[in-house]
Amino acid sequence: MHDHDRRDNDTGIVPAISLPVLLAGIVLPFCLVIGGCLALQAFRMALFGIPLEMIWMFACFILVPACLTVCWNMSPPGPDGKQVK
């Protein structure tokens, strides 16, 4: 085990933030988690003894990485001057 793994050959550049990236990366996860859970909480229903809002929260453990993956693919790092080095 080394401090830096061998596949760790990232460019060291972070892409600038755009509106679609913000929507996919921040707004959508917050809406899914907070909005979805609070909406389902109002139904006061359970599946196999587990409240629906908790099941949705557990599903968000997959949905949020999906949103961030979309976000990652929308913003490949390039050499333009807007990027943060």
Partner 1 sequence: MEVSIFLAVITASVLIAIYSRYRHAARNTRDFFVASGQFGAVLVFFLTIGETYSIGSVLGFPAGIYTQGSGFGLWFLGYILLSYPVGYFLNPRVWALGQKYACVTIADIFRNHYASRVLEILIVLNTTLFLLPFGEMQFAGLMVVVRNLGWHVSGMMMTGASALLTLAWIVLSGIRAPAYVSILKDVLMVVAIVLGGYAALHAMHWPAALPPLSRPAGGVHGLPGGNAFIVSTIILQSIGLCIAPQTVAFLFSARSPRTVQKNQIFMPLYMLMFPFLFMMALYVRTAGMTPASPNDVFMVAVCATLPHWARGLVAGGCALSALVILAGICLALGPLVSRNLMPGHSDRTQKTGAQVTIAIYLLVSVLGGASLSGLMVMLNNLYYIGVTQLAPGIIVAILNRRVSAMPIIAGLLCGDLIGISLFFLHVMPAGLNPGMIGLTVNALIVWGGMVRTSAQAT
Distance, CA of 35 to CA of 41 (rounded, Å)? 10
CB of 20 to partner 1, least distance (A): 13
Residue among 29 and 80 whose Cβ is closer to partner 1:
29
Binding string, residues 28-67; x marks residues near partner 1 by CB under 8 A: -xx--xx--xx--x--x-x-xxxx-xx--xx-xxx-xx-x
| 18 token code pair | 């755009």
Taking the C-alpha atoms of residue 16 and residue 65, their distance in angstroms, rounded to an integer, is 20
Is 23 among the residues that bind partner 1 (CB under 8 A)?
Answer: no
Q: Does 80 bind partner 1 (CB under 8 A)?
A: no
Q: Is residue 19 involved in binding partner 1 (CB under 8 A)?
A: no
Q: Can you say whether the dihedral through the CA atoms of 53, 59, 64, 70 is positive or negative?
A: negative
Token representation of residue 11: 């460019």
13 binds partner 1 (CB under 8 A): yes
